[in-house]
Each structure stands twice: as structure tokens, then as C-alpha cells.
């Protein structure tokens, strides 16, 4: 089996038993990426030297007999969404604005994977500045869904999901502001975890919505995702919103769901736009969890329907202020030949940002202007409180919620042209970022109509992310681990 298709445990057992070396793993994964990525375009940059250097240092540890102490990701090739700084690599956020930016430092989440023994293989494609749900807004061309290359992989972390679905890597990192880990995980049929806000440091991630952004892993198994969580979670003095975390995310994966209270949300299943095949899958998943011993409860989240409206006020407002730094002087593309600063700003920002980024910036600037602020921003914050209270109330009754991740399976390139229609891709994920809870997408087989992967979303109370991982592990026992996409299964 190709190394990129192995699980973390399979890799680590083979390495510890000296069946192969970290150098061989890195070399072979790099070669496989060169072959497979032509058809997927998950990678914006392959960091072969960094991966091989890490591999050689790890092989030393194998030789010294100290490999097992390295950490949760010892010997694992890992890729990073291109909004994560890794010193010496490009961090473009898939934008012309940052095309030539080289990271002078490393993000905490990336550094934590490295100190846990990961081999950094490259930087992964995304929607520009993480604005989008399809990876079509990348300035460097889209990523193709490994299950059907005429379809989008989802977004914004489309490259991170596709690299795992195509069997190029066992683990990647992405970020999720309104659904950008969970929705692409659903479209590509892999596990994608958005931890509770504050579990993972945001330091060194190019900020989109600072009160909503959270980093998390993609993997093909729940255990691999949990191991990656063990590596990246925890307090970071460089991010004052990060929290101490001593949880072992693998600890209760074998416990089963017997006695667990799982909430289903009838209103979500009646939502306009939910496809029949996703709805049928959700009903099947609920039944199977009940058969496995879970207690099902019907839950109401009366304010969740306002989540998209609130998000498309709060998100652009935060994006507008975060993106102000890309002014062509401190950061970003600088259009040459201007005599005054005003015209330099104007031309650089007009050329550096793509249409969706410009739309968000203009929206944010309008929404925060005097007179308008009270009409939109302030009420959106009030809605945020109401949604958070809905979840707090729900979690007095249940340990975990079950919902669709996305209303439908992966769509075709160009199929959704209207921005507001694209925004509906995240109708089931956004309220979780607004409330700050944990959420994840689990692959639960293929849709009856499209034959494409469907994701079930599991939602945890804040700082009880282990609850959703426990349910996810049960779903994995029922549906099997995420398969590599059929066209990429060579060597199995």
C-alpha cells in the first residue's frame, strides 16, 4: 500500500519495526504527489527539502531507539492549508495579493505538528483568503474533487480535503470559519474536525474572522484525526483566545455510543435546499446510532435559521478589518509606478484581491460605517448570543448533535454562480462557528442519487470535542473508514 494511503498507526508501526524508513516514506509520498496532483491540484507548493530534512532527523531517532518518544505524528507526512505560516515557504492564501510572500515564522499549529514528528510536505490550495465553499476563488486555479474531477472539492480548505481523499497524505490541516473544514470533508468523503473555538491556537494563521476561525485536521480515520488533535491542541501564549487542553482525543474512541444522548434536529431535515439523498442518509445514520445503543432526542435550535444572515454580517466585518493590513506597504502586492500613496493603495488592492475578497471587504466596510453599524452589526451580535444560548440549552439534554454537513453532495464547477447561493452551502455548519462549539464531518457512504460522498455532521458542547469523536468512531465502525477515492486507489 502506498505510504500516503496508510493510517498513522500503520506508518508508525512499520517505522518502529524498521520495515521502512522516514526517508523512504517522505520520498515516496513526494513522488506520489508529483504523479497524482496533476489531476487534483491540491498543492500550491511542495516542500520536498523540508520534508526530507525532517525525515532524516526522525531516522536518527529510529537509529537511537527514541522514535516512540517523538510524538503523536512521528513519521507522518502532513500538508497545510496555504493560510498557515511555515517559515521559509510561500503563504499565499491563494491570492495574488500574497503571491510572493514568504513566511518569516511558523504558525503555532504547524510548529506543534512538527514537534510531534510530522514531516511537512507542502502547502494546500484554498479559496482566496478562505472566502468560499468550492476552492473556485483560488487565484491559482481550483482543486478538483478526487471522486469526480468535474466537481468541486468544497471549500475553502479544498486542497486539504482532496489531498487526503486522493491518498496523497494521511493527515492535513485546514481552517474553518463557517464550514471550511467540514464542507470539503463532506464533499471529498473524509473526516474533518473543527474543534471548539480556543482549542487550537490561531497564531500564524492568516486571519479571516478572528472570533470564528479555528484550525483542525483532515484524515481518513477518526483515530488519525484524534492523534492530529492531540498534537495541535492546547494553550498558546501567542493567542490569548486559546485555552489549556489536557484531553487525550483518542481516549474514548472505543467506548461505543451505548447510553449516549444524541440530538437530531427535525427543522434541519425540513430545510429548503436539502437534497433527498442527504436527508435519507441522515435518517439512516440516526437509526444506526440508535441501533448501536444511543438515545435519540429531538432538538430545536430556533435561532439557527438566522445564522447565515448573522454570519454574512459578522464575517465580512471581521474580514474587512483583518484584510486592512494588505495595503501594499506593510504586506501584499504593490502596484508599481504610483506617485501618491492613495493611488498605490487603490491599484494594489484592486489588482491584488479577487472578486469575492473585494465583495467581502466592501460589505464589511459598509456594514461598519456610521449609521449602518447599529442596523446590522449590533443585531448580528445579538443573534449570535441567541444562537449560542440555543446550543447551551440543547447540550443540557444531549451529549452530541447529529446534522447534515452540507445540503448536497459535491457540485460541478461553475454550477453555482450566484454568491448568495454559494453562501447556502454552509447553512448547517455556520451556526457552530457562531456559537463556538466543536463540529466535525464524518463520511457515511455515498448518496443514493449522485453516488458521491455524503458527510454527517456531529456537534459537541464547547470543550467536549471528545463527545463527537466518540460518536464518529462508532460511525466508522458502521460505515468503515474513509476510502481513498476510487481513481486513486492504485497499490491498495
Residue 386 has a CB neighbour count (10 Å cut-off) of: 16
In whole angstroms, the minimum distance from the beta carbon of 97 to ligand GLN comes to 16
Residue number closest to ligand GLN, CB atom: 180
Nearer to ligand GLN, 180 or 437 (CB): 180
Tell me how many degrees the CA angle 56-60-66 measures, rounded to the nearest 5.
135
Tell me how many degrees the CA angle 193-197-203 measures, rounded to the nearest 5.
95
Binding pattern to ligand GLN, positions 56-75, x when CB under 6 A?
--------------------
Pick the closest to residue 36 from 121, 114, 93, 120 (CA basis).
121
* Positions in 84-143 near ligand GLN (CB under 6 A): 130-133
In whole angstroms, the minimum distance from the beta carbon of 359 to ligand GLN comes to 10
Residue 102 has a CB neighbour count (10 Å cut-off) of: 12
Among 208, 320, 353, 428, binds ligand GLN (CB under 6 A): 208
Which residues lie closer than 8 Å to 415 by C-beta, 6 or more apart? none
Among 117, 217, 234, 315, binds ligand GLN (CB under 6 A): 315
Pick the closest to residue 83 from 60, 65, 62, 110 (CA basis).
110
180 catalytically annotated: yes
Please report which helix (H) or strand (E) contains residue 191, including its range: strand 191-194
Four-CA torsion 180, 406, 170, 134, nearest 10 degrees: -50
Nearer to ligand GLN, 189 or 192 (CB): 192
Task: Exactly one of 95, 138, 157, 180 is catalytic; name it.
Answer: 180
244 exposure class (CB count in 10 Å sphere: 0-12, 13-18, 19+): exposed
Nearer to ligand GLN, 4 or 178 (CB): 178
Q: How many residues bind ligand GLN (CB under 6 A)?
A: 13
Distance CA 247, CA 231 (A): 11
Nearer to ligand GLN, 67 or 326 (CB): 326
Which residues lie closer than 8 Å to 82 by C-beta, 6 or more apart? 44, 45, 90, 91, 92, 93, 94, 123, 124, 125, 126, 159
Binding pattern to ligand GLN, positions 213-242, x when CB under 6 A?
------------------------------
Please report which helix (H) or strand (E) contains residue 297, including its range: strand 295-298
Which residues lie closer than 8 Å to 359 by C-beta, 6 or more apart? 419
Question: Is residue 326 a contact partner of residue 97, using CB atoms and an 8 Å limit?
Answer: yes
Task: Exactly one of 134, 156, 157, 242 is catalytic; name it.
Answer: 156
* Positions in 166-195 near ligand GLN (CB under 6 A): 176-180
* Positions in 148-167 near ligand GLN (CB under 6 A): 156
Distance CA 326, CA 190 (A): 34
* Positions in 419-448 near ligand GLN (CB under 6 A): 426
Q: What number of helices (H) and strands (E) belong to the chain?
A: 16, 11
In whole angstroms, the minimum distance from the beta carbon of 325 to ligand GLN comes to 18
103 catalytically annotated: no
Strand 214-219's sheet: what is its strand order? Answer: 43-46, 119-124, 77-81, 171-176, 214-219, 191-194, 438-446, 453-460, 400-404, 261-264, 295-298
305 catalytically annotated: no
Distance CA 455, CA 368 (A): 36
443 beta partners: 455
Query: What does the binding site for ligand GLN look like in residue numbers (CB under 6 A)?
Result: 130-133, 156, 176-180, 208, 315, 426
- Residues with active-site annotation: 81, 156, 180
Amino acid at each position: 500500500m502506498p505510504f500516503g494511503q496508510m493510517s498513522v498507526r500503520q506508518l508508525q508501526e512499520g517505522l518502529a519495526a524498521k520495515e521502512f524508513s522516514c526517508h523512504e516514506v517522505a520520498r515516496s509520498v513526494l513522488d506520489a504527489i508529483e504523479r497524482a496532483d496533476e489531476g487534483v491540484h491540491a498543492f500550491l507548493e511542495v516542500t520536498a527539502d523540508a520534508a526530507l530534512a525532517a525525515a532524516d532527523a526522525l531516522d536518527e531517532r529510529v537509529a537511537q531507539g527514541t522514535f516512540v518518544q517523538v510524538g503523536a505524528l512521528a513519521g507522518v507526512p502532513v500538508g497545510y492549508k496555504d493560510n498557515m505560516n511555515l517559515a521559509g515557504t510561500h503563504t499565499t492564501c491563494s491570492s495574488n495579493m500574497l503571491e510572493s510572500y514568504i513566511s518569516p515564522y511558523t504558525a503555532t499549529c504547524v510548529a506543534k505538528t512538527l514537534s510531534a514528528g510530522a514531516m511537512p510536505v507542502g502547502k494546500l490550495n484554498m479559496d482566496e483568503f478562505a472566502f468560499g465553499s468550492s476552492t473556485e476563488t483560488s487565484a491559482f486555479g481550483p482543486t478538483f474533487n478526487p471522486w469526480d474531477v468535474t466537481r468541486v472539492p468544497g471549500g475553502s480548505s479544498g486542497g486539504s480535503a482532496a489531498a487526503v481523499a486522493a491518498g496523497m497524505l494521511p493527515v492535513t490541516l485546514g481552517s474553518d470559519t463557517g464550514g471550511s473544514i467540514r464542507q470539503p470533508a463532506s464533499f471529498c468523503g473524509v473526516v474533518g474536525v473543527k474543534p471548539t473555538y480556543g482549542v487550537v491556537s490561531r497564531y500564524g494563521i492568516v486571519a479571516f474572522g478572528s472570533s470564528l476561525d479555528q484550525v483542525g485536521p483532515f484524515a481518513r480515520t477518526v483515530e488519525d484525526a484524534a492523534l492530529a488533535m492531540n498534537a495541535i491542541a492546547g494553550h498558546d501564549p501567542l493567542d490569548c483566545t486559546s485555552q489549556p487542553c489536557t484531553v487525550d482525543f483518542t481516549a474514548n474512541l472505543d467506548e461505543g455510543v451505548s447510553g449516549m444522548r444524541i440530538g437530531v434536529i427535525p427543522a434541519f431535515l425540513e430545510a429548503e435546499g436539502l437534497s433527498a439523498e442527504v436527508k435519507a442518509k441522515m435518517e439512516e445514520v440516526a437509526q444506526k446510532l440508535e441501533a448501536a445503543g444511543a438515545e435519540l432526542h429531538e432538538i430545536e435550535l430556533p435561532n439557527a435559521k438566522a445564522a447565515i444572515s448573522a454570519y454574512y454580517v459578522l464575517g465580512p466585518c471581521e474580514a474587512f478589518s483583518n484584510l486592512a493590513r494588505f495595503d501594499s506597504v506593510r504586506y501584499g502586492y504593490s502596484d508599481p509606478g504610483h506617485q501618491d500613496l492613495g493611488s498605490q493603495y487603490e491599484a494594489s488592492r484592486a489588482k491584488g484581491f479577487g472578486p469575492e475578497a473585494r465583495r467581502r471587504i466592501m460589505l464589511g466596510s459598509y456594514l461598519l460605517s456610521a449609521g449602518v453599524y447599529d442596523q446590522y452589526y449590533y443585531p448580528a451580535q445579538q443573534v449570535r448570543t441567541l444562537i449560542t444560548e440555543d446550543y447551551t440549552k440543547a447540550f443540557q439534554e444531549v451529549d452530541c448533535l447529529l446534522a447534515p454537513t452540507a445540503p448536497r453532495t459535491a457540485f460541478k464547477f461553475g454550477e453555482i454562480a450566484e454568491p448568495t447561493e454559494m453562501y447556502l452551502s454552509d447553512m448547517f455548519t455556520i451556526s457552530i462557528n457562531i456559537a463556538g462549539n466543536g463540529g466535525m464531518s464524518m463520511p457515511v457512504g455515498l448518496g443514493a442519487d449522485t453516488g458521491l460522498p455524503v458527510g454527517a455532521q456531529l456537534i459537541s458542547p464547547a470543550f467536549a470535542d471528545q463527545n463527537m469523536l466518540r460518536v464518529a468512531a462508532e460511525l466508522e465502525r458502521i460505515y468503515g473508514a474513509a476510502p481513498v477515492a476510487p481513481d486513486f486507489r492504485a497499490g491498495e
